[in-house]
Amino acid sequence: MSRRRQIYEGKAKILYEGPEPGTIIQYFKDDATAFNAEKTGTINGKGVINNRISEHVFTRLSHIGIPTHFIRRLNMREQLVRQVEIIPIEVVVRNVAAGSICKRLGLEEGEPLPYTLIEYYFKDDALGDPLIAEEHIACFNWASHEEMHDISSMAIRINDFMCGMFAGIDIRLVDFKLEFGRLYDGDYSRVILADEISPDGCRLWDMKSGEKLDKDRFRRDLGGEEEAYREVARRLGLLQDDDNGPGEVLDLSSHRSRLRGTPPTKK
């Protein structure tokens, strides 16, 4: 296989030049970061699981008319995507109070929000991805009014669909991050969904136990990160019950005891 030209390496992915003009190969790493890369580590097999989950979610979103950069999955860790100009805004959709909003506003984690809240953050690791208002976006011309209308409309549609999709497998979609990009056709451009959707950028809680099935397990040193990611994939039908790798048992009971104050399940 010929050596590919690397375009960019981020915290969770590497981007390579694609086989055709206007395409990029997106490689999913096992690296895990938190708190703007102040905490780093590795979750074994995360890249493989995130590749499968993101493929699944993006494919299903395309079926309801959400335009995305996803073309196809190439192998266990790579997918082919359309090359876009990333809009420098992280869009966070919140259904339940968790994470930074609790710290900023003194909310109790797990408190349902009166209605879905959309927040915007400026994509700049050096600045800590600060919270911004739509007025900042307009003032600094990061996105046009029409683009922001498309972004907010798609974010609400994506949230509605994903809430139902995860509820169907007994998972509560607490919040999640989206990124969008401009796809150019000559002088014309349109906004499409980009990046990935996986447990790296979503807060996913088991509906019955409240157990966290996302990167908060890494952020908070809860353990069981790999098992949690695989559990999400298994419930989505992407892994079989016995597809847990050699000698691996999909069980978070020992970690669940930390969250719920109950002793681990005895085997």
Examine residue 63 and state whether it is found in any structural domain, yes or no. Answer: no
pLDDT for 264 equals 42
Confirm whether pTM is higher than 0.75.
yes
Sign of CA dihedral 124, 130, 133, 136: negative
* Domain presence at residue 181: yes
Query: What pLDDT does 242 receive?
Result: 54
Q: Do the beta carbons of residue 53 and residue 79 sit within 8 Å?
A: no
Distances (CA, A) of 106 to 14, 100, 116: 37, 10, 18
In a domain, 132, yes or no: yes
For CA atoms 237, 243, 244, 249, the dihedral sign is positive
242 φ/ψ angles, rounded to the nearest 5 degrees:
-100, 10
Other Cβ atoms within 10 Å of 43 Cβ, number:
21
**23, containing H or E segment:** strand 23-28
Helix 46-63 to helix 225-235 angle, to the nearest 10 degrees? 30
Residue 97 lies in a domain: yes
* Cα–Cα distance for residue pair 103/78, rounded to 1 Å: 36
Distance CA 26, CA 118 (A): 27
> What pLDDT is stored for residue 262 in this prediction?
40
Is 159 contained in some domain? yes
Q: Which domain holds residue 148?
A: 85-206
From the number of C-beta atoms within 10 Å of its C-beta (0-12, 13-18, 19+), residue 244 rates as middle
Q: Give me the count of residues in the chain.
A: 267
What's 230-260 look like in SS3? HHHHHHCCCCCCCCCCCCCCCCCHHHHHHHH
In a domain, 102, yes or no: yes
Sequence-separated (6 or more) residues with CB below 8 Å from residue 118: 91, 92, 93, 94, 152, 155, 156
Q: What is the C-alpha separation between 163 and 45, in angstroms, rounded?
A: 26
> 234, 197, 184, 203: which is closest to 62 by C-alpha?
197
Domains held by the chain: number: 1
pLDDT for the residue 250: 41
Q: What is the CATH number of the domain that holds 198?
A: 3.30.470.20
From first to last of its 267 residues, what are the pLDDT tens digits of the chain? 457 899 999 999 999 999 999 999 999 999 998 887 778 999 999 999 999 999 999 999 999 999 999 999 999 999 999 999 999 999 999 999 999 999 999 999 999 999 999 999 999 989 999 999 999 999 999 999 999 999 999 999 999 999 999 999 999 999 999 999 999 998 899 999 999 999 999 999 999 999 999 999 999 999 999 999 999 999 999 987 655 443 333 445 444 444 333 444 433
Provide the pLDDT for residue 50: 98
Residue 198 lies in a domain: yes
Query: Does 127 fall in a domain?
Result: yes
